[in-house]
Amino acid sequence: MNKIELWFGEQYGRENGRYLQIQVDNVLEKVKSPFQEIAVVNSPAFGKILVNDSIVMLTEADEAGYHEMIAHVPLCVHPKAEEVLVIGGGDGGTVREILKHSDVKRVDVCEIDEQVVEVCRRHFPDMANSFDNDKVHLYYQDGAQFLTVRRNQYDVVIVDSTDPVGPGITLFTEQFYQSIFHSLKEDGIAVSQMESIFWHGKFIQNTFLFLNRIFPIARYYFTMVPTYPSGMIGFSLCSKKYHPVEDFKPEKTEKLTNLKYYHAELHKAAFILPAFAQKLI
C-alpha cells in the first residue's frame, strides 16, 4: 500500500488565487485559545511549524531569516538600546536575538495570547527559553492598549505581529503607530512586520502614507523566508533620529553569535528595493 501523504495549505491569500502547500507527517498539537486556533505540525522539509488560524507563523528551517532581521537591524542602528519592547513575539525567537546585544538591560514582551507562549515552550524551546532570562518581562494583553500608558520609555519597539487579520489587525492602524511614537525615547526606533511587496503592495503603500507623517524617517526593508507569502517578507523601520543605513554600526554585528542569516553587508542590502517597490513607498 502506498504511504498516505498529508498536506497543509497556508490559507492567507487563497481568496486571491495564491496557495502554499507543505507536506506534513504529524500533527503534534492543536489547541483553541480565546483568540485563535494554534497548531504545531511536523514537516519533512521544514521541521516543526507553528500555525495560527491556518497561517504559517514560523518553521524551524527558515525562522532565522525573520527573527534575526527584525531584531538585529534596529539594534545595530541604535547606538545603545537598553530598553526594548516586543509586541507579539510569543514564540520567543525575536527575544532570543535581542538578548545577544549586551547593551540591552530590559526586554518587555506584550503578547495577547498566553497559550502561544505555552505551546512554544513545549515545541520550540530553542526560542521560547529566552523568556526565562532575568531581563525579560512578559505581559499578556493587547499591544495597542499596553502602549497607551507608556511614554518616552523605550529605545527600540519591535512589533513581531501576525498578518493584519484576526487579533493582529489593531497593530496596523495609524493610531497604533502614534502610540509607538510616544512610547519611544527622543532617539527611538520602531520596527514592524510589514508584509510582502509582491502580494501586499497597496497595503504597504497606504501604511507608509501615515508612517511618513508620524516619523521623521520611515524605510522599508526585506528578508527571504520561503514559507511566507511570496517567499519574502518586509519590515518598516521608523526612526526619530537615526538613519537605518547611514547610522548603521557594522562593528556591532561582529559581537553577535550563532547567526544563520544576518550580517553587515546584508543589513545594507536589505534596504535596496526593486524599482516597482521604490515607486510604492
**How would residue 18 be classed by pLDDT, with cut points 50, 70 and 90?**
confident
Least confident of 76-80, 90-94, 201-205: 201-205
How large is the average pLDDT for residues 30-53? Answer: 96
As to burial, measured by CB atoms within 10 angstroms (0-12 exposed, 13-18 middle, 19+ buried), residue 251 is exposed
Each residue of 221-232: pLDDT tens digit?
Answer: 999 999 998 899
Name the active-site residue from 113, 155, 160, 163: 160
- The yes-or-no verdict on residue 2 having pLDDT over 50 is no
Share of the chain above pLDDT 90, in %: 84
- The yes-or-no verdict on residue 197 having pLDDT over 60 is yes
- The yes-or-no verdict on residue 73 having pLDDT over 50 is yes
**Which is more confident, 173 or 213?**
213
Identity of the amino acid at 227: T
**How would residue 170 be classed by pLDDT, with cut points 50, 70 and 90?**
low
- The yes-or-no verdict on residue 40 having pLDDT over 70 is yes
160 is catalytic: yes
Among all chains, which residue has been given the C-alpha cell 548603521? 248
Contact between 274 and 197 under an 8 Å Cβ cutoff? The reply is yes
Least confident of 58-62, 159-163, 238-242, 270-274: 159-163
Each residue of 88-141: pLDDT tens digit?
Answer: 999 999 999 999 999 999 999 999 999 999 999 999 999 999 999 999 999 999
CA gap 253, 249 in Å, rounded? 8
Domains of the chain, start order:
6-59 (2.30.140.10), 63-280 (3.40.50.150)
Q: Note the Cα 113 to chain centre separation in Å.
A: 16
- The yes-or-no verdict on residue 169 having pLDDT over 80 is no
Give the number of other Cβ atoms within 10 Å of residue 145's Cβ.
Answer: 12
User: In sequence order, which residues have a C-beta less than 8 Å from that of residue 156 and are 6 or more positions away?
Assistant: 74, 75, 78, 81, 83, 84, 85, 188, 189, 190, 191
**How would residue 3 be classed by pLDDT, with cut points 50, 70 and 90?**
very low
pLDDT for res 6: 74
CA gap 145, 142 in Å, rounded? 5
Contact between 33 and 162 under an 8 Å Cβ cutoff? The reply is no
pLDDT for res 101: 98
User: In sequence order, which residues have a C-beta less than 8 Å from that of residue 249 and are 6 or more positions away?
Assistant: 76, 77, 79
CA gap 277, 220 in Å, rounded? 9
